[in-house]
Amino acid sequence: MNDQLLLPGLEDIQAAQERIKNVAVRTPLLESPALSHRFNRRVFLKLECFQPIRVFKIRGAYNKISHVKEDKVVALSSGNHGLAVAYSSRLLGKKATIVVPETAVKEKVNSISEYGGEVVKVKAINEREPTANRIVRETGAAMVHPFNDPLMIAGNGTCGLEIVEQCPEVDSVVVPIGGGGLISGISIAVRTVKPSAKIYGVEPEGAPKMKEALRAGHPVNMDSKSIADGLIPPSVGDLTLECCKRNVNSVETVSDEQIISAMKTLIKEVHIFPEPSGAASTALLETGVRDRLGKNVVVVVSGGNVSLELLSRVLSQ
């Protein structure tokens, strides 16, 4: 770790890569001829939706929990982080309790239970953290924060190492932002190994947490709303904000309509089924920011845990 904020460095990410190698897969990075033609540049997709639990979160969660000495862990989640914590805990022989809002995607909640996690539901997103903290105090369990943790960031950074290894000519990497754990890890890895590469973050218009935090100089709490349920925590963290200050070139926003359009594009042109959070980065290609991305663009498709109801609605439109 490289300073008082405990931000991970390249050596921490490399150690995480060795630690998680038998759990998190090295996901494909493929050029999409259809998208390259459509956007007049080479568009590569980093398919984190091909992880065993269909989302990148397994990288950070397994790296974090493998360091935990307690036999119980607690996490707050909108769904995907809870999946990763429950799955990783089962592999590591620990008991997981996951606090989710009542609005969490049903399929994600069901999978958390199937992986052995105990689900605790709360009415509102902002009730998750105090509830999780109470359970930690009462049970002595270890907290596994979804993004504001150096071990989570280091684990997520393994995705960035793979990107540079798989696409050495990369000019820019486009990453969706929820709490900022994924873009933090990727940006540290990519900017360290290939300083010329640019990093762009993408948030929903209804949840511009990182954009507002960068403007204010500190994390800002807000009532985030978006169809992209994985990108709407109330705020980013101090660690992820610092990572973005240092390494991210720009944070942009896209509308829910643009995210749905990007989902349709990926389904039709690439034949994959991203969740809205996973399609947000592709939505940036539909905006004027596209002209700043260079000729070789890596778009991170962060997850594929789309609800059957939403998928049916998108396909029917």
Instruction: State mean pLDDT over 136-161.
Output: 98
Query: Residue 240: which domain range?
Result: 10-56+149-316
Q: Are residues 232 and 300 in the same domain?
A: yes
177, pLDDT greater than 80 = yes
Q: Are residues 137 and 159 in the same domain?
A: no
Is 62 domain-assigned?
no
Residue 94 is among the residues annotated as catalytic for this protein: no
Q: Is the dihedral of CA 87, 71, 152, 215 positive or negative?
A: positive
63 Ramachandran zone, left/alpha/beta (phi>0; psi -120 to 50): alpha
pLDDT for 316: 85
**What type of residue is 315?**
L
236, pLDDT greater than 70 = yes
65, pLDDT greater than 60 = yes
Instruction: State mean pLDDT over 134-138.
Output: 97
pLDDT for 145: 97
Q: Report how many domains make up the chain.
A: 2
Q: What is the mean pLDDT of the chain?
A: 96
Is 52 domain-assigned?
yes
Q: Are residues 124 and 244 in the same domain?
A: no
Structure tokens at 96: 């997981």
Beta-strand pair 296-301/42-47: parallel
Q: Which residue among 143, 167, 200 closes a domain?
A: 143
Q: Which residue among 143, 167, 185 closes a domain?
A: 143
Helix (H) or strand (E) holding 264: helix 256-265
pLDDT for 1: 46
Q: Are residues 265 and 133 in the same domain?
A: no
Q: Looking at the DSSP assignment, which residues form a beta bridge with residue 143? A: 74
Residue 68: strand, helix, or coil: coil
15 φ/ψ angles, rounded to the nearest 5 degrees: -65, -40
Position 84 confidence tier, pLDDT thresholds 50, 70, 90: very high
Is 2 domain-assigned?
no
Rounded Cα distance between 121 and 98, Å, is 8
Q: Of these residues, 57, 94, 209, 211, which one is catalytic?
A: 57
Residue 56: strand, helix, or coil: coil
Q: How many CA atoms lie within 13 A of 62 on its CB side?
A: 28
pLDDT for 2: 41
189, pLDDT greater than 90 = yes
Position 3 confidence tier, pLDDT thresholds 50, 70, 90: very low
Whichever domain contains 76, its CATH number is 3.40.50.1100
Q: Are residues 155 and 49 in the same domain?
A: yes
pLDDT for 291: 95
Residue 302 is among the residues annotated as catalytic for this protein: yes
Write the CB contacts of 64 (distance below 8 Å, at least 6 apart in sequence): 144, 149, 151, 152, 155
pLDDT for 314: 86
Structure tokens at 273: 């089924």
Q: Are residues 259 and 157 in the same domain?
A: yes
Instruction: State mean pLDDT over 207-233.
Output: 96
Instruction: State mean pLDDT over 304-317.
Output: 89
pLDDT for 317: 76
Position 304 confidence tier, pLDDT thresholds 50, 70, 90: very high
Q: Of these residues, 89, 277, 281, 302, which one is catalytic?
A: 302
Q: Are residues 42 and 88 in the same domain?
A: no
Q: Which residue among 115, 143, 171 closes a domain?
A: 143
222 with 209: CB under 8 angstroms?
A: yes
pLDDT for 6: 84
Instruction: State mean pLDDT over 49-75.
Output: 98
Structure tokens at 256: 């829910």
Q: What is the pLDDT of residues 20-44, one digit of tens each?
A: 999 999 999 999 999 999 999 999 9
